[in-house]
Amino acid sequence: MTTDANLTHDGLALNGHGRVLLIACGALAREIIALRKGNGWDHLDLQCLPAIYHNRPEKITPAVRDIVAQNRDHYERIFVVYADCGTGGQLQAACDEMGVKMIAGPHCYSFYEGNDAFTALDEVTSFYLTDFLVRQFDAFVWEPLGLAKHPQLRDMYFGNYEKLVYQAQTENSELIEKARECADRLGLEFEYRFTGYGDLAAAIEDA
Amino acid sequence: MSDEEDDIILSELNDEDLVAQMFDDLYDGMKDEIEEGVNILIARGWTPYKVLTEALVGGMTIVGHDFRDGILFVPEVLLAANAMKGGMAILKPLLIATGAPRMGKMVIGTVKGDIHDIGKNLVAMMMEGAGFEVLDLGINNAVEAYLEAIEAEQPDILGMSALLTTTMPYMKVVIDTMIEKGMREDYIVLVGGAPLNEEFGKAIGADAYCRDAAVAVETAKELVARKHNQGAAI
Closest CB to A156: pick one of B73, B78, B165: B78
Mean pLDDT of the A83-95 span:
95
Predicted pLDDT of residue B4: 47
Contact B196, B209 (CB under 8 A): yes
B-chain residues near A146 (CB < 8 A): 73-76, 78
A-chain residues near B86 (CB < 8 A): none
Residue B140 to residue A196: CA distance in whole angstroms: 30
Note whether B165 contacts A84, CB cutoff 8 Å: yes
Residue A99 to residue B73: CA distance in whole angstroms: 36
Quick check: A148 contacting B, CB < 8 Å? Answer: no
Quick check: B76 contacting A, CB < 8 Å? Answer: yes
Q: Where are the beta strands (DSSP E) in chain B?
A: 104-110, 132-136, 157-161, 188-192, 208-209
pTM: 0.89
Full DSSP string of B85-140: HHHHHHHHHHHHHH-----EEEEEEEBTT----HHHHHHHHHHHHTTEEEEE--SS
Q: Is the pLDDT of residue A121 over 90?
A: yes
To the nearest whole Å, the CA of B30 is away from the closest chain A CA by: 12
Residue A141 to residue A128: CA distance in whole angstroms: 11
Full DSSP string of chain A: ---HHHHHHT-EEEE---SEEEEEEGGGHHHHHHHHHHHT-TTEEEEEE-GGGGG-GGGHHHHHHHHHHHHGGG-SEEEEE---TTSTTHHHHHHHHHT-EE--SSSHHHHHH-HHHHHHH--TTEEEE-HHHHHTHIIIIITTTTTTT-GGGHHHHHTT--EEEEEESS--HHHHHHHHHHHHHHT-EEEEEE-TTTHHHHHHHT-
Closest CB to B118: pick one of A122, A147, A156: A156
Quick check: A121 contacting B, CB < 8 Å? Answer: no
Note whether A88 contacts B165, CB cutoff 8 Å: yes
For residue A17, which amino acid is it? H
To the nearest whole Å, the CA of A69 is away from the closest chain B CA by: 25
Residue B21 to residue B26: CA distance in whole angstroms: 9
Per-residue pLDDT of chain B (234 residues; tens, 9 = 90+): 444 456 899 999 999 999 999 999 999 999 999 999 999 999 999 999 999 999 999 999 999 889 889 899 989 999 999 999 999 999 999 988 887 788 999 999 999 999 999 999 999 999 998 889 999 999 999 999 999 999 999 999 999 999 999 999 999 999 999 999 999 999 999 999 999 999 999 999 999 999 999 899 999 999 999 988 876 655
In this structure, how many other beta carbons lie within 10 angstroms of the beta carbon of residue B164?
23
User: Residue A6: exposed, middle, or buried by beta-carbon count in 10 A (0-12, 13-18, 19+)?
Assistant: middle
* Count of residues making up chain B: 234
Alpha-carbon Rg for chain A, nearest whole angstrom, is: 17
Contact B57, B19 (CB under 8 A): no
Pairing of strands B104-110, A189-194: unpaired
Q: How many helices (H) and strands (E) does chain B have?
A: 11, 5
Note whether B76 contacts A146, CB cutoff 8 Å: yes
Residue A144 to residue A154: CA distance in whole angstroms: 12
- CA-CA distances (angstroms) from residue A135 to A141, A168, A176, A182? 11, 11, 10, 10
DSSP, collapsed to helix, strand or coil, labels residue B46 as coil
Closest chain A residue by Cα to residue B138: A160
Q: Which of residues 204-223 of B touch A (CB under 8 A)?
A: none
Q: Is the pLDDT of residue A92 over 90?
A: yes
Closest chain B residue by Cα to residue A127: B115
Share of chain A above pLDDT 90, in %: 98
Residue A126 to residue A128: CA distance in whole angstroms: 6
Short-list B85, B72, B24, B29, CA closest to A150: B29
A-chain residues near B195 (CB < 8 A): 57, 86-88
Quick check: B164 contacting A, CB < 8 Å? Answer: yes
To the nearest whole Å, the CA of B27 is away from the closest chain A CA by: 15
In this structure, how many other beta carbons lie within 10 angstroms of the beta carbon of residue B66?
16
Mean pLDDT of the A4-11 span:
97
Short-list B158, B178, B159, B160, CA closest to B169: B160
A-chain residues near B201 (CB < 8 A): none
Note whether A149 contacts B75, CB cutoff 8 Å: yes
Residue B106 to residue B89: CA distance in whole angstroms: 19
